[in-house]
Amino acid sequence: MSTEDQEAQEDELLALASIYSEDEFKRADAAPGGEIHLCLELPSGFIISIKSNSATNSFADNFENTVSFLPPIVFKFELPPGYPSTTPPNFTLSCVWLSPKQLSLLCQHLDDLWEENRGCVVLFSWIQFLKEETLDFLNITSPYEIDVPSNGLQSSMQSPEKNPADGERETLDKRAVQDEQSVSALVKYILDFNDTQKKKTFDNKPFSCNICFMEKLGSGCTLFKDCGHVYCNNCLKDYFNIQIKEGQVNALNCPEPECKSVATPAQVKDLVGEQLFSRYDHLLFQLSLDLMADVVYCPRPGCQTPVVQEPEGAMGICSACQYAFCVHCKMTFHGISPCKVPEQMEGLIEEGLNGKIGRRTLEKAAEQLKNREWIMENSKLCPGCKSPIEKDGGCNKMSCSKCGQYFCWFCLKILPQYNPYEHFSDYDGCSDLTL
């Protein structure tokens, strides 16, 4: 190798290392060369679908997804002693979503670029072509369909346009390397790569938090996927901490006004930590049970296990202590006998005087009856979850503490979350008065 070629190779490898990150470019240890992963820039809203001609694989028939990133083209190269003065680099191209024919076309075009620049370093020109012109060169447009044969090896991808070199040089290039991919593995790889790249892009992008009004990188922020709003982790942590400590686990939503997006459990856990998340998880589970009409709790003070009410009748059987009880009076199940909590106190007292029930049972039943009467007189049932709600002042717009539903206290109509006061804007018998 001439000194000039050796210096040119070293300078080119150093330039590539300075341009591309360690995740993109890895220089070979043994010989002059390396491996570079080229992620193409896709148009906004790029749609892919996958088709398989295997009769046994119905998974691909329904797959269609919008992606921002596709897995990279992997360009491996080795610089021979005569490069760049007389000999081109040795290389291979591989990509899970390009067919061997398409990869062959790219290999042959790299040969053409070398012929145009023979005697000069060419790696950067090759890389720029692969990164910036592959989609146009192969006429890849959205929507785009990947055709996977039954043997798992991808054939040509279908596109509305015709490939630029159809009918020319049909022989597959031996430098075009195509790994076998099953349909399910290919779909998973594409979606996982897309998610990973979107996360990297988000982490390196600055965002302005609408709570503290400071600009921070995405790595220190949380994205609500349903709405796209972004807030810094410090502000969201304080906001969620307060909500969980106050038991408002149904309010861990996006802080943006009138936004309905809810934080995922994983996001909550990352922000508040293991201990507070355990409380959140317990309260959320408790809330879910409370909203289920057929779930009651074992009345034994030392148990309190959730019990699913029997489909027919008023019996509940605790799975923990095996106690069979009446879901109305919470006493031992009495079959077809009248419930031990009558509608009138006179009947209850009479049973107590006759010795049919004990004093403690009488006192407990009397207390339950009083509570039930107070609730009936001083509350209304939420139209969403049927929980009793007390009104202690303010306007007629109510918010259920259990399910978060807005409703009108006067007519019990469910009100929209985005503008609950619209119900009171026009006179319809529910004018917004303090009652």
Residue 153: per-residue pLDDT: 46
Q: State whether the Cα torsion 229-233-234-239 is positive or negative.
A: positive
Q: DSSP letters of 364-422?
A: HHHHHHHHHHHHHHHEEE-TTT--EEE--SS-SEEE-TTT--EEETTT--EE-SS-GGG
Residue 157: per-residue pLDDT: 40
pLDDT tens, position by position, for the chain (435 residues)? 688 889 999 999 999 999 998 889 999 888 899 999 999 888 888 998 887 665 444 544 567 888 899 999 999 999 999 999 999 999 999 998 888 899 999 999 999 999 998 889 999 999 999 999 999 999 999 888 887 765 544 443 433 344 544 444 457 899 998 766 677 788 888 899 999 999 999 999 999 999 999 999 999 999 998 888 999 999 999 999 888 887 777 778 888 887 888 888 889 899 988 888 888 888 877 777 766 667 788 888 888 888 887 766 678 888 889 888 887 777 788 777 776 555 444 455 555 555 555 556 556 656 766 776 777 777 888 887 777 888 877 788 888 877 777 888 888 888 876 677 777 776 556 765 544
Residue 340: per-residue pLDDT: 56
**Contact residues for 57 (Cβ-Cβ < 8 A; gap 6+):** 150, 183
Residue 435: per-residue pLDDT: 44
Name the maximum alpha-carbon separation found in the chain.
116
Residue 14: per-residue pLDDT: 93
Residue 237: per-residue pLDDT: 92
Is this prediction's pTM over 0.75? no
Residue 221: per-residue pLDDT: 94
Residue 344: per-residue pLDDT: 44
How far is it, in rounded angstroms, from Cα 431 to Cα 417? Answer: 19
H/E run at residue 11: helix 3-19
Residue 382: per-residue pLDDT: 84
3-state SS record for 134-153: HHHHCCCCCCEEEEECCCCC
Q: How far apart are the first and last CA of the chain?
A: 95
Residue 364: per-residue pLDDT: 63
- Domains, the chain, ranges and CATH? 3-197 (3.10.110.10), 206-290 (3.30.40.10), 295-380 (2.20.25.20), 382-435 (no CATH)
Adjacent-strand bridge partners of 414: 407
Q: What is the set of active-site residues?
A: 395
Residue 431: per-residue pLDDT: 63
Q: State whether the Cα torsion 401-403-405-407 is positive or negative.
A: negative
Residue 369: per-residue pLDDT: 65
Q: State yes or no: cis peptide before 143, omega within 30 of 0.
A: yes
One-letter amino acid of 196: T
